[in-house]
Amino acid sequence: MIPALLHGKLSREQENMEDILTSIVFGVLKHLPPELILLPWL
């Protein structure tokens, strides 16, 4: 989903859908090391 958004392949309606935005956020978090996101937040 992130590559589609970055390359402009989503419509304006799709870009604003909450479930797609949530998917993007969790998709990014999945690829980041825990020390960078999880531990400072805790």
* Residue with the larger pLDDT of the pair 26 and 13: 26
**What is the distance, to the nearest Å, from the Cα of residue 32 to the centroid of all Cα atoms in its chain?**
11
Q: What angle do CA 5, 9, 36 make, to 5 degrees?
A: 15
* Residue with the larger pLDDT of the pair 37 and 2: 37
Compute the Cα dihedral for 8, 31, 21, 42 and give only its sign: negative
Domain boundaries along the sequence of the chain: 2-41
Distance CA 29, CA 15 (A): 19
pTM over 0.85: no
